[in-house]
Amino acid sequence: MKFTTLLFLALIPAIAFAENLLANSNKLFDFAEKSYSEFFSPAEIKTVGLDNYLVRYYPDTGNYIGTKGEEVYVYGDVFNGLLKAGVISDFVALEPDNDELFAKLFTDGQSNVQVYGTGTVISILSDDLDGIVIKGLSLN
């Protein structure tokens, strides 16, 4: 059980990074669809993973937009093939990562934060965050 807990704790940063990367990529893709619809339409295309990229393909224009880590790429005839367009933060504000959110929760002088747990579930309650539950974490 302790190995499983340690493995889960080791994976939390990777999971959080992947979630933030997906959230930031989707925010960028949504921005591109609204701001540059002549290149990226129709809107609200599903994001897919392709090797190490998160990608959206726009059949109406024949163009792609994708991210690899923080880097932004576009692909299509109008871009003369593959073009590195910059990094995500060049276009949209990045979502805070989970570590920043927890640090903010515990360092903003909030005296009403309660952390409690039994068995394999820990719950964190505060005025700002109502009932965050971290599953798979053992207190034993």
What are the DSSP calls for 58-124, one per residue? Answer: ETTTTEEEEEETTEEEEEEGGGTEEEEEEEGGGTSPPPPPHHHHHHHHHHS--TT-EEEEETTEEEE
Contact present, 53 and 64 (Cβ < 8 Å) = no
pLDDT (mean) for 94-113: 58
Residue 121 pLDDT > 80: no
Identity of residue 136 = G
- Which of 24-28, 55-59, 78-82, 130-134 bottoms out in mean pLDDT, i.e. has the lowest? 130-134
> In this predicted structure, what is the pLDDT of residue 47?
96
Residue 85 pLDDT > 70: yes
Tell me, yes or no, if the pTM score tops 0.85.
no
Confidence of residue 96 (pLDDT cuts 50, 70, 90): confident
- Which of 7-11, 46-50, 77-81 bottoms out in mean pLDDT, i.e. has the lowest? 7-11
